[in-house]
Amino acid sequence: MPLATIIALVGLAEALKSGGVLPMYVPAPSQLVTAVAQTPSLLTENLGPTVRRASAGYAIAAFCTIVAASLAVTVQRLYGFVYNFSVTMHSVPIIATAPLLALWIGTGEPLQITIAALACQFPMVVGAIQGLQAADARQRELMEILSATKLQTLRYLLLPSALPYMIAGFKIAAPTAVLGAITGEWAGADRGIGAMMLYALSSFNTPALWLAILITGFLAAIGYGFWALVESVVTVSSNNVELAE
């Protein structure tokens, strides 16, 4: 059904463009295909850098947020600092942060990775903290009765209980990592989807601009869909374990 919907929308857009219904700044799907066929470098030179930067920023944010959330839940005195710091970073618009970061760390690839990490950290933090606090009180008491250390409780109880919440946070954060990387590329990059957007806009290359927009949505959808698939697999596995018990 989703594939049929996409095909129908593409056909409708092509028909509307052929009938002169769409404005001149909205290209037909065939024009996008022609643009890629005539200039393959639009994809080959720009897609890889954006994927690499978004993935690196996403991985760094995931590692840092899991560690920070674990410390916040294990050491209660750190809870307010970790959560408030995450909220503060999230409340500052990334588009405003990018020029400041460019002054501090330059306009190279570290800038795009940093902005991608900052853009996607908040959903991860919220999901991880809520998940680590979701363990059943009776299970916590059992770990205390067994004289488990805080690290053992975190490893054997809190992290497994937090997995569904963390996956939900990762799923929401995936598209924002792509958008963060592209925003970082706007602040200065020779290659990438963001740089492709700027070049297309400055040269009035409408098909290339729309192609960049569609690729951005496609990458965001892939990131979200990947974690949605992981979530469904984990849910099915958990249900099977419960039935077996």
pLDDT the model gives residue 49:
92
pLDDT the model gives residue 104:
84
Say what percent of the chain tops pLDDT 90.
29
Q: Where are the domains of the chain?
A: 45-235
Task: Write out the two tokens for 212.
Answer: 């960049």
Residues 120-131 have pLDDT tens digits of 999 999 999 988
Task: Write out the two tokens for 243.
Answer: 């039935």
- Identify the sign of the CA torsion 100, 101, 103, 109: negative
What's phi and psi for 170, nearest 5 deg? Answer: -65, -40
The rounded Cα 190 to chain-centroid distance in angstroms is 22
130 closest CA partner among 67, 84, 83? 83
Q: How far is CA 57 from CA 64, 99, 240, in A?
A: 11, 18, 34
Distance CA 15, CA 9 (A): 10
State the average pLDDT for the chain: 86
Distance CA 240, CA 213 (A): 41
2 closest CA partner among 218, 192, 236? 218
Contact 69, 81 (CB under 8 A): no
The residues near 77 (Cβ < 8 Å, ≥ 6 apart) are: none
Distance CA 176, CA 112 (A): 13
User: For residues 45, 46, 47 and 50, what is the CA-based torsion angle, rounded to 10 degrees?
Assistant: 130
Q: What is the mean pLDDT of residues 131-145?
A: 85
CATH topology of domain 45-235: MetI-like fold (1.10.3720)
Listed ranges 21-25, 90-94, 171-175; the one with the highest mean pLDDT? 171-175
E strand map for the chain: none
Tokens 């018990």 correspond to 245
Q: What is the mean pLDDT of residues 60-64?
A: 94
Number of other CB atoms surrounding residue 106 within 10 Å: 12
Residues 27-39 have pLDDT tens digits of 888 888 888 888 8
* pLDDT beyond 90 at 155: no
Residues 69-108 have pLDDT tens digits of 989 888 888 888 998 999 888 888 888 888 888 888 877 8
For 201, half-sphere exposure in the C-beta direction (CA atoms, 13 angstrom radius) is 9
pLDDT band at 221 (very low <50, low <70, confident <90, very high): very high
pLDDT the model gives residue 238:
59
* pLDDT beyond 60 at 44: yes
Contact 205, 199 (CB under 8 A): yes
* pLDDT beyond 80 at 228: yes
pLDDT band at 204 (very low <50, low <70, confident <90, very high): confident
The residues near 195 (Cβ < 8 Å, ≥ 6 apart) are: 46, 185, 186, 189
* pLDDT beyond 70 at 138: yes
- Identify the sign of the CA torsion 137, 141, 146, 150: positive
* pLDDT beyond 90 at 58: yes
Of residues 237 and 219, which shows the higher confidence score?
A: 219
Say what percent of the chain tops pLDDT 70.
96
pLDDT the model gives residue 237:
63
